[in-house]
Amino acid sequence: MNAPQPGGTIEIAGKPVSRLGLGTLRLTGPGTWGEPADRDRALTVLRDAVHIFGITHLDTADAYGPHTVEHLIKDALHPYPDNLLIATKVGFARPAPGTWTPHGHPVYLRASVEASLRRLGMERLDLCYLHRIDPDVPLADQLGTLAALRDEGKIGHICLSKVTTEDFETARKHITVAAVQNVLNIHDRYDPVMEQCRAESIPYVPYRPLDAGAAAAGGNVSVPLCWLLARGPHIAPIPGTSNPRHLAANVHAVDRDGWT
């Protein structure tokens, strides 16, 4: 892995990783369900990202497929390079294609973490996000379960996804928040949680940084990605793709504009 880390580096959970990461939502079938149409191409995207382009921050979730992408990551990259940070998420059930349901019951969260460990072939999840807060389960119970798993050595660091400023402040009463993942792009330009993370030096990971492609009209990904990187050194976008050419375009966009 001799390639420069695209976008420069950011420290997440004590590990320096590329500021430009890879989101893996698109490495599934239609409706984020099942296997990708071209499994070999999905594996190529993962391998190229890490071994050719120097991306050292991969973001996934047990809900992607469900389970599909965690298997793909293991098949493509295990044994993992020491400098690779893999983030996964738990707490979102998938009853059907295109359907997502928050599920934060402690038994479910614990079972999900154990299953992700097996699928990824890891003894500890580097980063584990609570994918969504379940409104039907006390937040203290959801975070307490993840904290117990951290104390058992099965989770390295706990993160939050799709949270409000109030969620963020409440969560910080129970855990140390290692990163936050919310929507931010040139169409959805403001998220007060991004400013909270800046103030606390907490990495902020924008998902949907290209607004599902809408922010890259005409194939120009340089403007939206560099706009995000310019929001602050705590920003680490995770554009996703299932196309090796698009992956290369994303990396070259931030390289070309002087972010490495």
Parallel/antiparallel/unpaired status of strands 92-96 and 125-130: unpaired
Domains annotated for the chain, with CATH where assigned, are 9-256 (3.20.20.100)
Q: Which of 180, 209, 224 is nearest to 21 (CA)?
A: 209
| 195 Cβ contact list (under 8 Å, min separation 6) | none
In sequence order, which ranges of 131-257 are alpha helices (DSSP H)? 139-151, 165-171, 192-200, 222-229, 244-256
> Structure tokens of 176?
């140390």
d(CA 15, CA 96): 36
Q: What is the pLDDT of residue 260?
A: 45
pLDDT score of 214: 67
Higher-confidence position of 214 and 186: 186
3 pLDDT band, cuts 50/70/90, is low
Contacts of 129 (CB under 8 A, 6+ apart): 61, 87, 88, 89, 90, 91, 158, 159, 160, 161, 179, 181
Predicted structure pTM score: 0.95
Query: For this structure, is 207 an active site residue?
Result: no
Tens of pLDDT, residues 31-53: 999 999 999 999 999 999 999 99
Edge-to-edge strand ranges of the sheet holding 177-181: 22-23, 57-59, 85-90, 125-130, 155-161, 177-181
Checking if the pLDDT of 1 tops 60, the result is: no
Band of the pLDDT at 220, cuts 50, 70, 90?
Answer: confident
Which residues face 23 on adjacent strands?
59, 240
CA distance 132 to 96: 17
Residue 255 pLDDT grade (very low, low, confident, very high; cuts 50, 70, 90): confident
Q: What pLDDT digit, counting tens, does each position of 137-152 carry? A: 999 999 999 999 999 9
Q: Which of 64, 129, 204, 207 is catalytic?
A: 64
Supply the pLDDT for residue 56.
Answer: 98
Distance, CA of 103 to CA of 7 (rounded, Å): 34
Instruction: Measure the CA–CA gap between 7 and 25, rounded to whole angstroms.
Output: 21
For residue 217, the model assigns a pLDDT of 63
Q: How confident is the model at residue 127 (pLDDT cuts 50, 70, 90)?
A: very high
Residue 27, classed as helix, strand or coil, is coil
Cβ distance 146 to 128 under 8 Å?
A: yes
Q: What is the pLDDT of residue 64?
A: 98
Q: What is the pLDDT of residues 178-198, one digit of tens each?
A: 999 999 999 999 999 999 999
Q: Quote the mean pLDDT of the chain.
A: 94
Q: What angle do CA 256, 24, 91 make, to 5 degrees?
A: 135
Tens of pLDDT, residue by residue over 82-113, are 999 999 999 999 999 999 999 999 999 999 99
Query: Residue 30 CB: number of other CB atoms within 10 A?
Result: 10
Contact 204, 182 (CB under 8 A): yes
